[in-house]
Amino acid sequence: MSTVPSSGTLFSADYLNLIEFLAKMKMAELKNRSLDRGITILEVLAALGACTLAELHKNSKIPKSTIRRLLGTLIARHIVRRSVSDKKYRINIVLPVHERTYIPENFPINIDAIMTDAMELTKEVGWPSDINMLQDNHMTIIDSTRPMSPFKIFPGMINRKINLFGSATGIACLATMNDDEIVKYHERTKGDQIWGLARFDLTLDHLLARLNFNRECGYGTRLIEYTGGETILDDGLAVIAVPLIKDKKPWGGLTLLWTRSHREHQDFAEEFLPSLRRAAKKISAKLG
């Protein structure tokens, strides 16, 4: 016997409630599927750098009509853009797609909250900022405000490992440590041509002298020999950094980056170091 009301009869309250429940379930299913597909598109763009509609379809297996609709929303939200020069779609944010890693034990649960302070810093001074975390024997880029800077800056790469001894944030962290702590990092990386001082042909004594100089300046800078990281020869950037403190120990570092040909370190620091320190103080307070 059919449970569906016949034509001309009133729908019962239970039947209407059932229809409403099923409609909500269907809407939730469609929203979840759209969200999953949107994330897939972002991952493809982040992995490939730039794509045509056909390339997005090929790599995501999502129907082209659906991709067009999702791209419309992503472009309206300024998450994705379509370049004028080659008509390809590009992502405006940085995603950690280059390697799948577990979240570090010391990773801040409130990353969005501390990014707010980095974003406010960039809004104030214009130049972008990276948040780097001290992890094992290297620094790791946690997040960056490079996409929101009005200046054309070499794009960052989230989850990228950078040299502790060569990077500005590494120097800023090391400058807060005593000599015994610094020696331990040196011993763990001794002779390592990627992560150790051997990469720069420097001795421990040279590093300690350099750290004394940075302590006097009040900020960290890159070693002259370190011009971009582990995956590029030279990104054309100059950097100043101050430490981020958690539980009275260096947790990581906060940077300001600019094009190296624009200004000297001292001149740049005289104008922007106070703002950088204020932002770092706020972030350190949130780290605990």
The 10s digit of each residue's pLDDT in 155-183 is 767 768 899 999 999 999 999 999 999 99
* Position 144 confidence tier, pLDDT thresholds 50, 70, 90: confident
The 10s digit of each residue's pLDDT in 94-139 is 665 444 444 455 555 456 678 889 989 999 999 999 999 999 899 9
Mean pLDDT of 28-45: 79
Do the bridges between strand 89-91 and strand 80-82 make them parallel or antiparallel, or are there none, so unpaired? antiparallel
Tell me which architecture the domain covering 111-287 has in CATH: 2-Layer Sandwich (3.30)
Does 33 or 100 have the greater pLDDT score?
33
Q: What is the pLDDT of residue 102?
A: 42
Does 60 or 84 have the greater pLDDT score?
60
Q: What is the DSSP string of 202-264?
A: --HHHHHHHHHHHHHHTSEE--TT-SS-SS-S---EEEEEEEEEETTEEEEEEEEEEETTT--
Q: Is residue 83's pLDDT more than 90? A: no
The residues of the chain that CATH labels 1.10.10.10 are: 13-91
The residues of the chain that CATH labels 3.30.450.40 are: 111-287
Q: What is the pLDDT of residue 137?
A: 93
Q: What is the pLDDT of residue 7?
A: 47
Q: What is the pLDDT of residue 240?
A: 97
The 10s digit of each residue's pLDDT in 186-237 is 999 999 999 999 999 999 999 999 999 999 999 999 998 887 666 666 788 9
Q: Is residue 82's pLDDT more than 60? A: yes
The 10s digit of each residue's pLDDT in 9-23 is 455 666 566 666 666
- Adjacency order of strands within the sheet including 249-259: 161-163, 138-144, 130-135, 249-259, 237-246, 220-221
Looking at every residue in the chain, the average pLDDT score rounds to: 84
* Position 71 confidence tier, pLDDT thresholds 50, 70, 90: very high
Tell me which architecture the domain covering 13-91 has in CATH: Orthogonal Bundle (1.10)
Q: What is the pLDDT of residue 196?
A: 93
Q: What percentage of the chain exceeds 70 in pLDDT? A: 78
Q: What is the pLDDT of residue 280?
A: 97
Mean pLDDT of 21-27: 62
Mean pLDDT of 227-252: 86
Mark 146-163 as b/e (b = at least 16 C-beta within 10 Å). bbebeeebbebbbbbbbb
